[in-house]
Amino acid sequence: MNKSAITAAPIMPVLADRWSPRSFDANYKLSQHELLSILEAARWAPSANNGQPWRFAVVNRGEALFDQVVADGLSGFNQAWAPRSSTLVVVSIQTKLADGRENNGALYDAGLSVANLVIQAQELGLHAHQMSGIVPAGLSNAFGLHEDIRPIVVVAIGKVAPADQLEGPAYEREIQPRTRLELDEIVLHGKP
Ligand SMILES: Cc1cc2nc3c(=O)[nH]c(=O)nc-3n(C[C@H](O)[C@H](O)[C@H](O)COP(=O)(O)O)c2cc1C
């Protein structure tokens, strides 16, 4: 199944080849080196005023907390496929600045950090799949998060596996071609 992006000009292979599978190898475990590398990539993302409002909680398949994240922290659709991933990274934002004001840029900064994480996983021969279909209260409860720490996304990471181990809507989506809006639709001015 070729999922590489079809682009109008060459882009870095790691960007073109990244995609979000739902079929993961349920026997693969991330090594400590892979996990460290992925988290370091996330850590070195840029952020406004170097505020670094991202926070991560990492659970591996086989741990009780992994099962709790799936059961209490994911939507029903995501519960159908995410358990086969190797590792779930719960991404939260620190919603407040040091002076107590709301950090209105925290979501943007955290998105940059997760982009780094996802691309580093791809560079290591892994795949990552972000999920906003989550139950924030269930995730906060699982990790005893402070009220200023808000879960925003869970990222499933692992080795991609053949699509035919999936069923129903997850299988249907797995075999769809990847699509994007055309540049004409998203570049409002100055398209080359
Ligand atoms: C912020 C965000 C939230 C997402 N939430 C979900 C989700 O809850 N469940 C799911 O199956 N996919 C989810 N996705 C995956 C998107 O559907 C996917 O990235 C998009 O269709 C583009 O496909 P690609 O990543 O393979 O290029 C999410 C992606 C992002 C970036």
Q: What is the pLDDT of residues 114-123, one digit of tens each?
A: 999 999 999 9
Question: What mean pLDDT, rounded, does the chain reach?
Answer: 97
Q: Is 119 in the pocket of ligand 1 (CB under 6 A)?
A: no
Q: Is 117 in the pocket of ligand 1 (CB under 6 A)?
A: no
What separation in Å is there between the alpha carbon of 157 and the centre of ligand 1? 13
Fold of 21-160: NADH Oxidase (3.40.109)
Q: Is 122 in the pocket of ligand 1 (CB under 6 A)?
A: no
* Global confidence as pTM: 0.98
- The stretches in the chain having pLDDT less than 70 are none
What separation in Å is there between the alpha carbon of 98 and the centre of ligand 1? 32
Residue 168 has a pLDDT of 94
Q: Residue 22 has which token pair?
A: 């739902």
Residue 2 has a pLDDT of 86
Please tell me the distance from the alpha carbon of residue 66 to that of residue 89, in angstroms, as a whole number: 10
What separation in Å is there between the alpha carbon of 100 and the centre of ligand 1? 32
Judge residue 50's burial from the number of C-beta atoms within 10 Å of its C-beta, 0-12 exposed, 13-18 middle, 19 or more buried.
Answer: exposed
Q: Could you read off the pLDDT of 41-66 as tens digits, one per residue? A: 999 999 999 999 999 999 999 999 99
- What is residue 117's three-state secondary structure? helix
| Atom nearest to 114 CA in ligand 1 | 31
Q: Is 170 in the pocket of ligand 1 (CB under 6 A)?
A: no
65 CB-side CA count, 13 A: 14
What separation in Å is there between the alpha carbon of 77 and the centre of ligand 1? 12
One-letter-per-residue 3-state SS of 52-87: CCEEEEEEECCCHHHHHHHHHHECHHHHCCHHHCCE
